[in-house]
Amino acid sequence: MELLSVIKLAADRPGADPGHGEFTIEMGKGTRTAVHLYPEVRQKMITRLTGRGKKGSFILTADGKDCRSGSRTFFEKTGFLLLQDGHYENLSVKDHLLYFRRLYSSALGLEDAAGLVQLDRSLSVKVRDLTHSEKLRLRFGTLLFQAPALFILEEPDQNIDLETKRILVHAIEVLQKRGKTFLTLTGNMESAFTFGERVYRLSDRGLVQVITESARSSDDQTEESAETAAEPDFQFNKIPAKVNEKILLFDPPDIDYIESHDGQSHIYSQGESYPCVFTLTELEDKLRTFGFFRCHRSYIVNLQKVSQVITWTRNSYSLRLENRSKSEIPLSKNKMADLKAMLGLK
Amino acid sequence: MTFSMQRMYAIFVKDLKELSKNTFVLTTIIMPVVLALFFGRGDAVPLEVHFLVFNTAFAAVAAYIQSVAIAEEKEKNTLRGLMMSPATTVEILTGKSIVSMGMTVLTIVLCIRLLGFETANWLLVGAGMAVSLVLFTAIGTLIGLLTRTLMEASVVITPFIFILGMGTIFAEMLQGNVILTVAEYLPNFQLEYLAAAVESGAATGEIAGHFALLLGWTAAVIAATALVYRKREMGSE
């Protein structure tokens, strides 16, 4: 794999909080990486990545050359899609795009950029009249004129509609084929799995890779061999979870889904999460008869609660639940086939 | 780093379109035109009144638009994107200055028509006005750098409009006061005295003195702007 960029963050204070530790993310050309991290840490990282002047402490290596954050070459090579970014509200979409096209002296056609983010029908609309989701698409459209080697996306799917998310995922896939690299910073595991092929988690313990589907097969067998415990004499169906020394018992139909992170499984029920003592594999076994489905390496979902199977692209899927928060759960590629079989589809 | 006409042009067009749709800005820049309409009704307009209108135009149009164009980028969080783009500070400020200077020239020309202003030596008075235009644009840049929002810029500009724009109107009231002797060195007074000196055919030395003071002011404000810019990069607060 051709290595495009290594973002290296030098520690400026030893032993400080996670946003300040030293870590390295290696990203191949034309790959998508996502980092799951807390909002405060994310903000700190963004501030340091976009900061100008001498203090730049990120080093981006591209094409064998190092550039430090804050330098002009760094901002040429990286494009940011940030939550805080603003728009020129009084301009029309067309003027807005035209401005960025001129600013970056881009050869890309205005219609092409607008087409990729599907704003080509609202070119004469004023920016202030766009919805939040359309504004995000507009910002992504302006990035196309910059055509950076590395795109850094901050919470790309926060508060946006389904349509926009689909357009965004599609646009990213198109750009990825042209050799663009993507780094997503998000506090939402589901969006990390949607936007990243490789997913990391940045916490107090530093940067840890979250094992996704591709890294799977080998350790699956070890888990299965541990499963030969004695069968219990009677059937007990409730699932225990521990909260402050108390043990709560959940009825399986009340559970929305179960997520595993940091080596701990968490039960999500009625909008709250509770740490559970069992591993996902154990839970998968216990809950299979209740219509639960292992839809992802780190997720088990209650199929009774699934209201929609969303197809972002041919290789990227999510499940939408009908709970209050309309949670989205990642569905991995090879599990899609199993799910289709269960649903009686081909 | 090369100066790119295209980038400067992009910023110019964007600011022109953005500001021409901002009603808040438009209401402020018609102020000198209203003044000109009001005073232009009289038969003989004294020189003081002509320059009261011109100075107001400089402060309310050149300085105000320039400050708003910069402050609004901060308010709307668009400045960060602009600073990360290949556009250099020179290109950004030139693009913006052309907008504010262009609008000021249009306003001044309109006011001259409305007031029926005439002078013995257009070259000298015109040169004085040109220096004032640069000076007020620099003041606007300075205010834009120091403020964060359109509202803040509008509040900060008000004393400038009153003192540097309409200051000469208060001269009568302050007759004999020590403040006036100091105030006479302000650029708006100097521009008026320059025009008066040209009109009365005063010695070259006197005209040159007024000119030197105007240039001195301009140099001082540009130096202050450069200093402030260095101290705090436009993007960071």
Note whether A72 contacts B236, CB cutoff 8 Å: no
Domain assignment present for A216:
no
* CATH code assigned at A270: 2.40.50.1020
A287 and A186 within one domain? no
Note whether A53 contacts B1, CB cutoff 8 Å: no
* CATH code assigned at A42: 3.40.50.300
Interface test with A, best of B6, B9, B14, B236 (most A CBs within 10 A): B14
A240 and A195 within one domain? no
Q: What total of structural domains would you count in chain A?
A: 2
Q: What is the DSSP string of A165-217?
A: HHHHHHHHHHHHHTT-EEEEEES-HHHHHHH-SEEEEEETTEEEEEP-GGG-H
Least CB–CB distance from A99: residue in B4, B14, B83:
B14
Q: What total of structural domains would you count in chain B?
A: 1
Domain assignment present for B184:
yes
What is the pLDDT averaged over residues B179-203? 86
A105 and A28 within one domain? yes
A80 near B CB under 8 A: yes
**φ, ψ (nearest 5 deg) of residue A292:** -95, 150
A262 and A122 within one domain? no
Interface test with B, best of A58, A88, A110, A136 (most B CBs within 10 A): A88
Tell me which residues of chain A, numbers 325 to 344, contact chain B at a CB-CB cutoff of 8 Å: none
pLDDT over 50 (residue A343): yes
For β-strands A78-81 and A150-154, DSSP reports them as parallel
- Tell me, what's the pLDDT at B180? 80
Structural domain for B28, as ranges = 5-231
At which of A210, A244, A268 does a domain end?
A210
Domain assignment present for A215:
no
Domain assignment present for B101:
yes
Residue A172 pLDDT grade (very low, low, confident, very high; cuts 50, 70, 90):
very high
- pLDDT tens for A59-118 read 777 766 777 777 888 888 889 999 888 889 889 999 999 999 999 999 999 999 999 999
A168 and A243 within one domain? no
Least CB–CB distance from B86: residue in A82, A89, A104:
A104
pLDDT over 70 (residue B237): no
- Tell me, what's the pLDDT at B70? 92
pLDDT over 50 (residue A283): yes
A196 and A330 within one domain? no
**Among A23-27, A91-95, A106-110, B10-14, which stretch is predicted with the lowest mean pLDDT?**
A23-27
Domain assignment present for B237:
no
pLDDT over 60 (residue A2): no
pLDDT over 70 (residue A54): no
- pLDDT tens for B126-161 read 999 999 999 999 999 999 999 989 899 999 999 999
A216 near B CB under 8 A: no
Looking at every residue in chain B, the average pLDDT score rounds to 88
Say how far apart CA A194 and CA A284 lie, in whole Å. 23
What is the pLDDT averaged over residues A252-278? 86
pLDDT over 80 (residue A305): yes
Domain assignment present for A77:
yes
A205 and A81 within one domain? yes
Residue A235 pLDDT grade (very low, low, confident, very high; cuts 50, 70, 90):
low
Least CB–CB distance from A85: residue in B9, B17, B77:
B77
Shortest CA gap B15–chain A (Å): 9
- pLDDT tens for A322-341 read 887 888 889 888 888 888 88
Residue A227 pLDDT grade (very low, low, confident, very high; cuts 50, 70, 90):
very low
- Tell me, what's the pLDDT at A311? 87
A274 and A188 within one domain? no
Domain assignment present for A218:
no
- pLDDT tens for B59-83 read 999 999 999 999 999 898 888 888 8
At which of A177, A210, A243 does a domain end?
A210
pLDDT over 60 (residue A229): no
A159 and A33 within one domain? yes
At which of A182, A210, A238 does a domain end?
A210
Shortest CA gap B194–chain A (Å): 41
Domain assignment present for A224:
no
- Tell me, what's the pLDDT at A21? 60
- Tell me, what's the pLDDT at A225? 40
Domain assignment present for A219:
no
Residue A14 pLDDT grade (very low, low, confident, very high; cuts 50, 70, 90):
very low
Residue A84 with chain B: CB contacts under 8 Å: 77, 80
- Tell me, what's the pLDDT at A230? 46
Domain assignment present for A296:
yes
- Tell me, what's the pLDDT at A4? 53
A281 and A155 within one domain? no
Looking at every residue in chain A, the average pLDDT score rounds to 81
- Tell me, what's the pLDDT at A228? 42
Structural domain for A255, as ranges = 229-343
Domain assignment present for B217:
yes
Share of chain B above pLDDT 70, in %: 97
Record the tokens describing residue B164, joined without a space. Answer: 């540097």
Highest mean pLDDT of the ranges A1-5, A214-218, B97-101, B166-170: B97-101
Its ipTM equals 0.85
Domain assignment present for A162:
yes
**Length of chain B, in residues:** 237
pLDDT over 80 (residue A233): no
Residue B236 pLDDT grade (very low, low, confident, very high; cuts 50, 70, 90):
very low
Domain assignment present for B31:
yes
pLDDT over 50 (residue A245): yes
Distances B196 to A213, B55, B131, B166, B184 between C-alpha atoms, Å: 84, 15, 17, 17, 14
What is the pLDDT averaged over residues A238-244? 80
What is the pLDDT averaged over residues A38-54? 79
Domain assignment present for B83:
yes
A91 and A9 within one domain? yes
- Tell me, what's the pLDDT at A216? 43
Say if residues A207 and A35 touch (Cβ distance below 8 Å). Answer: yes
Higher-confidence residue of B166 and A94: namely A94
A127 and A40 within one domain? yes
What is the pLDDT averaged over residues B148-175? 86
Q: What is the DSSP string of chain B?
A: ----HHHHHHHHHHHHHHHHT-HHHHHHHTHHHHHHHHHTTSSSPPHHHHHHHHHHHIIIIIIHHHHHHHHHHHHTT-HHHHHHSS--HHHHHHHHHHHHHHHHHHHHHHHHHHHT---S-HHHHHHHHHHHHHHHHHHHHHHHHH--SHHHHHHHHHHHIIIIITGGGGTTTTTT-HHHHHHTTSHHHHHHHHHHHHHHT--HHHHHHHHHHHHHHHHHHHHHHHHHHHHS-SS--
Say how far apart CA B71 and CA B109 lie, in whole Å. 27
Residue A75 with chain B: CB contacts under 8 Å: 84-85
What is the pLDDT averaged over residues A234-257? 80
